[in-house]
Chains A and B, each alone.
Chain A
């Protein structure tokens, strides 16, 4: 196990390095941050000063060497726009993204598993069709559209929840609900499909021959097997959430890493972009390890 994690860590480190190099140079193709930081009528001298202050006037390769050198000292550089260490900015945002992603994913997993399994057991029936259609429609609507309609209906119309922002638990309801829809739609479909084939497996026949009741048949005998393909999809969806939810964060004024990322990209705040990418990559790496562990936990054949 430790060996596996070690190998994964090395492989991921390589990917991370590749990612960093790619992002570093590609982002610098996208223009001059000085132009965006300073007002349109700023003088060339001011722009020059800004570049010099942030080392942007150096040859690209030297900038890169400096960046890597600093990185080796766990220094992710300063945010060009916020005049603060980029890593602080990112971690602050990540402290919002992480619980949002975890809560959403937790809800997605539990509801999708229960509803998807029941739908599979009742394949072709009314409940199955209902779950399918509702999840499909939900997953096919543009999320910003849902978000704005949700605000109009639930905050202004009904006044149940605040429109946006963070603070009380009530503030989290709408962002989580909107974020929930798409992964739920996907995962519930996969659960249903996977449970469908798992319910056809020979060991289910054995269980039926043993006289096992329906609920344990679904949720004890079949689910653990049916979860294996689901975990991969859950991993993909969780990874997407860990990358930050740009749209939802933008609309609900949720100070997560997705909004930070898009703002930093648009403003060419290179250090923040790089730091954000690396932090999310580490988070996703940890999650992948957890997924692997989950596989082992669920399936003894992988463990041994």
Chain B
């Protein structure tokens, strides 16, 4: 693989960039593979990359029904953080954050990981109790997360309105400095390029229409719109469509697929230095390298695969944004879009073996999938290679819905008395 560097760039500049080769090859599928990953998003491509890199399994194909990164990988607001509450969550998101920190170098592809800080605003006593609980848990776990006074929050994010007259005045904030953003497309392309370089087959426009099983119920391969492709193991990482794909193997998973919308403003000169989130008023916002304000809206209330949502979700989010940052009221929304998030009952992901031998599933990342990409991919590769979960992902198995051992980050932030 041609190494990317400033020198290569300079060399190519002199010959009109004719020398660049395709970032990943697009081969015809083999008749069978050791592992087939269903879903060519960041999680799936990453899993294939780590299977090859860390487990020496290179006879791998990633099947994508559309274009790489066309699902939630290419539709999210690119926020990265690891300051979660429960050990199970901290384990995987911190593992992920550590990988983010070296990902551009590991992949030789600039994914533009930018630790500009993720600040979560506290608006009342209950927020403060909940955030302090996170901060203390994070500190004892070795994860950075600090409490800021309103003044410190304003210093870190000057556009913030900390006036006492606000409808929900800010009484502090939790800041994870290592949190930030990355370039979502680059993650998919970077993994695809690096995986392809290690022999993984990246096969786009190939939709899995069925999962074939053998006499003992084990998987033997997948039916696709391009015919049958054999596989010893199948890893499903098809966020948004996890239920649909798992149903092909007769496995029901506890998921709701909901529309999640986001929007960007027209490009502006740098005005917003970090990522700000507020659970109380339901908003999160950052500014992209192109200068767009990137704003995440809430999920629509109903199940849908339409990748569209209601305008009221957008307006509700902008209410909050303009309440926190009154000077943005004259800024304009340039583009809105929607993705499909798979949400589990406890809002934590599922990474698990399934009742079907050889079938593994990685789903249910809800609205947190992008930040988890490297960690999830890395641990999913381990699960597929070893047949059992890595200890950092041990809590994410399907079994918890029978035992009741949920990882309920949402409930932990329960609404106050």
A and B bind: no
